[in-house]
Chain A
Amino acid sequence: MGFFTTLLVILPLLIIPAAFYRFLLISDPKRNKPIRHGRRNPAEPTHLLVVLGSGGHTAEMLAMLERAVSAKDASLKLDWKDYTHRTWVVGSGDSISAQRAKDFEDMVIPLSTPEDLMVGKVKRATYNGIGTYDVVTVPRAREIHQSLTTTPMSSFTCMRACYDLLTRYTTETRDGHASGPGQKDFPDVILCNGPATATILVATSMLLRFFDVKGCSTRGKLRTIYVESWARVKKPSLSGKLLSRVVDRFLVQWPQLERSTGGRAEFMGVLV
């Protein structure tokens, strides 16, 4: 065997297991989370990314968020100020979802709980501003009646847009630590439900973590939460099947779906 033949045999033997091992590492939900010192610590900005689909997906996502931010029970009440920056992802041409994201942002801040900053008679350093948000448009991965043959191309275009939006804000901070005061960084958490765009976005986030782009993996960024549509009662959707073993959290809203999906599916009651 010549040198190149040997190389051709040996290299894949090395690379494939290594890549697979890397894949397991970055898709393990037990991987590092960022080290934080309290909620709304002004020195530790946070970034939440929400994917809106269209029609039903958007309606469900907003219903879920509206329910969480207006919950009466304090332990269930999502405080929007916990996220100093929010990115809303909408499909191109979906002006309704974009508008609904803006409406949600306008509605949500007065719902935030005023905080007692003098607890324990030491004024706590707490970020109390309303933060910032972006509404970012990406080309759709697949139109509703698009043929399967052109889907790979449009998915690739969508993936590039996802890459750009995920790397829109980055910082260089010490391993395992959140970004500095006033900075914007990778999304900490990606919250999505069923649309095809979400699948592409999660795949792109895995690619970024695979190559640890700007330390996103070592710094514990880009964790993923997938919520299966409430309309899925017995069987998961295609997006759900694809993502049930790679997202960090996979929430389903019907008990029988937890069993039929398998993987990381957890039933947490109805969320919408």
Chain B
Amino acid sequence: MAHPKTCFVTIGATASFTSLIQAALSAPFLSALQNHGYTDLLLQYGEDGKGFFDGCMQQAQATVSSSGLKVSGFALDKAGLGKYMRQAKGLGAKGAQEGVVISHAGSGTILDALRTAVPLIVVPNAELLDNHQVELAEALAAQEYVVHASLADLPRALQDAEQLRLRQKEWPPVNSGVHRQAKGLKGVLDEEMGFLD
């Protein structure tokens, strides 16, 4: 218990992705957390999610207490998720080690985690009609920025996250051949403003 290791699960502030909360409190996942040395499980269940979270907690009570994990949840935080991302990164407490973030595929949350450089498992919500979130998760997983997982294989994803940790890439990406025009936002703004210097 000397080295706290946090797994932070977020379903976003407004989205109702209760199945991710359910999966994160399931017995196989909790034991996988235990196997990988996690000490804390922190969940953001979003607006109106408290009832559901409490229900899941009641069901999982026996498993939670036997796993020795500290499980806690919150609805939303207006100050943003930065604080929780840093806790998962291992910057919260003294002697803490780096954990993992598990997130719905919202681009804002993904970006937050990438900029914090904490290993990230992205679980797109399959119930959403618009599947562009899946495309983002796939594209980022192909470039090895994140682990792309479905609800069923979260324990496996936790294993993959340990691999990802070893070769965590920095964000924003270093400009390379792919980014052929590196003038950036400033360059475009200057051109449109008519700044000639």
Question: What is the interface of chain A, defined by CB distance below 8 A to chain B?
Answer: 33-36, 38-39, 46, 48, 55-56, 58-60, 63-65, 67-68, 71, 75-78, 82, 96, 99, 144, 188-189, 191, 220, 223, 225, 227, 229-235, 237, 248-249, 251, 254-255, 266-272
Chain B residues within an 8 Å CB radius of A220: 194
A-B contact pairs, 24 of them (CB 8 A): A36-B193, A36-B195, A38-B197, A48-B189, A65-B185, A68-B184, A71-B184, A71-B186, A75-B186, A75-B187, A191-B189, A231-B107, A231-B136, A232-B132, A232-B135, A233-B135, A233-B139, A268-B181, A268-B184, A269-B180, A269-B182, A270-B172, A272-B107, A272-B111
Whether A271 touches B184, Cβ cut-off 8 Å, given contacts A35-B194, A231-B133, is yes
Question: What 10 new A-B contacts, CB under 8 Å, besides A34-B194, A55-B106?
Answer: A63-B111, A68-B184, A71-B186, A76-B186, A230-B107, A231-B132, A231-B136, A248-B192, A268-B179, A268-B188
Chain A residues within an 8 Å CB radius of B179: 268-270
**What bracket does the count of chain B residues touching chain A fall in?**
35 or more
Chain B residues within an 8 Å CB radius of A82: 193, 195
Can you name the residue of chain B whose Cβ is closest to the Cβ of A220? B194
Closest chain A CB from B174 CB (angstroms): 10
Closest chain A CB from B68 CB (angstroms): 35
Question: What is the interface of chain B, defined by CB distance below 8 A to chain A?
Answer: 12-14, 78, 105-108, 111-112, 115, 132-133, 135-136, 138-139, 172-173, 175, 178-189, 191-197
Closest chain A CB from B104 CB (angstroms): 11
The total of Cβ contacts below 8 Å across the A-B interface reads 127
Chain A residues within an 8 Å CB radius of B175: 269
Can you name the residue of chain A whose Cβ is closest to the Cβ of B133? A231
Q: Are A225 and B193 in contact (CB under 8 A)?
A: no
> Which of A55, A82, A99, A231 has most chain B Cβ within 10 Å?
A231
> Which of A56, A225, A269 has most chain B Cβ within 10 Å?
A269
Q: What separation, in Å, do the CA atoms of A232 and B137 have in the docked complex?
A: 11
Q: Name the contact of B185 in the complex, choosing from A35, A46, A64 (C-beta under 8 A).
A: A64
Chain A residues within an 8 Å CB radius of B196: 36
